[in-house]
Amino acid sequence: ASVGQTIQAYLWLTNTGNANQTFQLAITGLNCSNAQSTLTLPPSTSAVPVLLECAVSQNTPAGTTALSASVTSLADPSVSATASLNFTIPQDRVNGQPRLSITVTGSGENTLPHEGSLVLTVVLQNDGNEHLTGTLALVGEGAADLSPSWAAVGGSSNPNYVLSPGQSATYELMLVSTITTNGGELNMRIQAAGSGHLLLSDPFTVNTVGPTVAPDGVSFGFFELDNQISITIMATGWLITILFVLLTISRRRSRSEHIHSTFYDIGDDEDEDSPPLTDLPLPPPPLPDAPALADGEARISDGRVTCMGCSSSLKMPENRDPPFKFKCPKCSESVRVVE
């Protein structure tokens, strides 16, 4: 008889006495709902059949089950009789596996911080009719990196289980993160494996948090720049700095250079380079017998010429003989040098 079925059996009773007798009936082994608690039998040499309808309940152990009946006279308890009948109860399985359920509960989104821990509750319920023994394990990608450890509530600190029909057990599963790469969502299951069975719980997720890594670029607190943008900005900054330094040096050099005059012969419009000129004291005035100078004219005195525009004393190149003219490097006045 299988679990959930109802079996019928007949109990044959005979009152071998010489008067009516009331007997108390007791049934063990199965639940026989139609069995009467007392029976009154007249004296007879013939047996009276009593129909028993007994249900095989869910947790009835698999194997041989004895349906036993005993009757006892209420008038004389010493008068009693017992009879039994054996039934074979097969294993109550689904798809070849025992009726063992695995329930996993966690907290929130099952977040496992880096180098932190997460505790899950695992409940085993044996709803079948077998005696089950086995071992629990965490399975799934990355399960080994979570260092699972088990503790039975009120029992041992190992993942082994021993369950009779209808019995349950509760375990605490602690996960410790040893992940060295980026975290993420891991799909896990609890496996219960033992002699003749292997079952898995429904899948559940564990959200692992990986180690904090340095930003891939430059972090300013409120925002980050990736490596490519950071390198571009830094290179631009260095280039601007170098250009600024070169410009500063160039300006300082231009200020420290001597002033150059541009000389050209009369009738020659092209400027020519000349050596730097330096300021010296004003030369003595020309001799009284020298002819008067026209506007913009000057004479060489001790190798120098006085500009009529700004009165600067300018040294002339030795290879220049009057007449010639030049532009004053200080006031840009055109000066004609005569004898």
pLDDT at res. 150 = 95
User: Residue 222: pLDDT above 50?
Assistant: yes
Q: Are 199 and 124 in contact (CB under 8 A)?
A: no
- Residue 258 neighbours by CB under 8 Å, 6+ apart: 276, 277, 278
Q: Are 21 and 79 in contact (CB under 8 A)?
A: yes
Which tens digits make up the pLDDT trace of 183-204?
Answer: 788 899 999 999 999 999 999 9
Pairing of strands 160-163, 132-140: antiparallel
Q: How long, in residues, is the chain?
A: 339
Confidence of residue 310 (pLDDT cuts 50, 70, 90): confident
Residue 232: its H or E element? helix 227-256
Which tens digits make up the pLDDT trace of 18-61?
Answer: 899 999 999 999 999 999 999 999 999 899 999 999 999 888 89
- CA 44 to CA 41: how far, in whole Å? 8
Which tens digits make up the pLDDT trace of 281-302?
Answer: 666 665 555 677 778 888 888 8
Of all residues in the chain, the percent with pLDDT exceeding 70 is: 84
Residue 250: its H or E element? helix 227-256
